[in-house]
Chains A and B, each alone.
Chain A
Amino acid sequence: MIYPEPVARLIDALTRLPGIGPKTAQRLAFFILKRPADEAQALAGAIVAARTQVVTCSRCHNLTDTDPCRLCSDESRDRTMLCVVQEPRDVAAMERTREYRGLYHVLHGAISPLDGVGPDDLRVRELVARLHDGSVSEVILATNPNVEGEATALYLARLIRSVTPAVRVTRIARGLPVGGDLEYADEVTLSKALEGRREL
């Protein structure tokens, strides 16, 4: 079927979203067209605002609209603990447990030997730099419990031990089922895993 050019463009843009195929994109496009104009305006505005106002925090590299982010500037957080996660969504997952009161460091990915993603492609140098002032006494490695996450944790443990031996390095326990993504874990599983972390 041939659509008017603006509709075709909208469908094309929606298809680029993860998990959205051409059929879903069509359905979403026509849903948007049927709704009042101000709703579409609000949606477009929200997308533009999120894209332009969100930056990465210069300390923890989490996504934020203030720099440093709210977590980094919160004086009540424990500055001796640093929890290392792969993605910004993992910070949200850890925060939902309400167990952890330290700071975070977001790597923006995981080492994947088979895809050519190495330490230099992640915020690893920035992590090491944060450890040099001596305020952090423990690093908790909370990468995903799959091969890439384990490779990342093993590599970071080795690196941190060699450059800042005084820092204790722990790994969240394998209370999490292997092979999955951290963000899908429920709060109970995740806080259990945090409780049972160990040296690496």
Chain B
Amino acid sequence: MALYKVEAVVLRTREYGEADKIVTLYSREEGKLHGIAKGARRPRSRLAGGMQPFTHVRLMLWRGRNLDTVSQCEIVAAFGPLREDLTRLAHASYVVDLVDEVTRERDANQDLFLTLLGTLHLLAWDQRPVLATRMFEARLLVLSGFRPVLDQCAGCQGSLGADGRRWFSAAAGGLVCPNCRVRERHAIAVSGGTVAALGHLLTADLRRLGVLRPSTQIERELEAVLRAAWDYRIERPLRSLAFLAAVRETPPPAKVAKGPPAQGVRPEED
């Protein structure tokens, strides 16, 4: 058996046997792969901390016939805030779910790995996790070979016309001109500002997300366009989207003044 080393993000884990976990990883070196982490559900296991979704780890694995076995795990970044805030957690779940859905086993893509890592950073610490998710959806389209066409008609390659209002068609793969729009029944109307924001999300440095200040209207349109683009590409609805919707429907209540905490009880800031 051969021992090898990868740097990876844990996408998901599944309980296995008494105390083991089967983990799905997205690694820099080998792309998506599955491994078994023996004893990882026992609190005292040295693998317990690292073998959790969203964790950035360095691993040593034994190559096995079916499944590789995790032999050592070092945590590079735990992204703690993703486990302490419901909104961040829901968005991070959707991001790793999307990666798991669109990638194949052992198909390395270093840009995808780095984009995933950068996005988890933003989701954990940026003030706008929703926008970070939009950026990831846009970048993943590019990385999967589905870059939306924004500079000409995705249907006939003709001009989009002078009008500021545009139509986006997921089936055509981008904006469509007024003529093609007639045939694209599911095309979504978008403003010029949304097109500009989408262009920024597709190309800008991840660290430059902050310069984007979309209006609520543009945010809504970006969500609709990227949702349509991904719904067209993937066969089944992602499970994590249902949770994202449930979290949205249960907004945090307004802060209420609380009495002094009882002994031994620390009120949590959230």
Contacts from A to B (Cβ < 8 Å):
18-19, 111, 113-116, 118-119, 146-147, 150-151, 154-155, 157-159, 161-162, 165, 170-171, 176-181, 184-185, 189, 195-200
Contact = CB atoms under 8 A, between A and B. Distances in A.
26 contacts: A18-B17, A19-B18, A113-B239, A113-B243, A114-B240, A115-B14, A116-B239, A118-B242, A150-B83, A154-B84, A154-B85, A158-B250, A158-B251, A165-B256, A170-B265, A179-B50, A180-B41, A180-B45, A184-B43, A185-B43, A196-B264, A196-B266, A198-B265, A199-B265, A200-B268, A200-B270
B56 interface: no
Interface centre among B45, B84, B240, B247 (most CB of A within 10 A): B247
B86 A154 contact: yes
Contacts of A185: 43
Contact of B52 (A115, A179, A181, A196): A179
Nearest to B255: A161
B266 A198 contact: yes
Contacts of A171: 268
Interface in B37-51: 40-45, 47-51
Interface in B203-258: 239-240, 242-244, 246-247, 250-253, 256, 258
Contact of B96 (A114, A146, A154, A199): A114
B81 to A, nearest CB: 11
B64 to A, nearest CB: 15
B167 interface: no
B43 A177 contact: yes
Contact of A178 (B49, B54, B85, B100): B49
B83 A114 contact: no
Interface in B49-87: 49-54, 83-86
Contacts of B266: 196, 198-199
Given A158-B86, A176-B43, A118 B268 contact: no
Task: Rank and list the top 6 A-B pairs by shortest CB-CB distance, nearest first.
Answer: A116-B239, A180-B43, A179-B48, A113-B93, A113-B243, A199-B267
Helix, strand, loop or mixed for chain B's interface? Answer: loop
B140 interface: no
Contacts of A184: 19, 41-43
B164 interface: no
B53 A114 contact: yes
B54 A147 contact: yes
A179 B51 CA distance: 7
A112 to B, nearest CB: 8
Interface of B: 12, 14, 17-19, 40-45, 47-54, 83-86, 89-90, 93-94, 96-97, 100, 239-240, 242-244, 246-247, 250-253, 256, 258, 261, 264-268, 270
B42 A180 contact: yes
B48 A180 contact: yes
B243 A118 contact: yes
A181 B48 CA distance: 10
B86 A179 contact: no
Contacts of A146: 52
A179 B240 contact: no
Given A116-B242, A170-B265, 19 more contacts: A18-B17, A113-B90, A113-B240, A114-B53, A114-B100, A115-B14, A115-B239, A147-B54, A150-B83, A161-B252, A178-B49, A179-B40, A179-B43, A179-B47, A185-B43, A195-B264, A198-B268, A199-B268, A200-B270
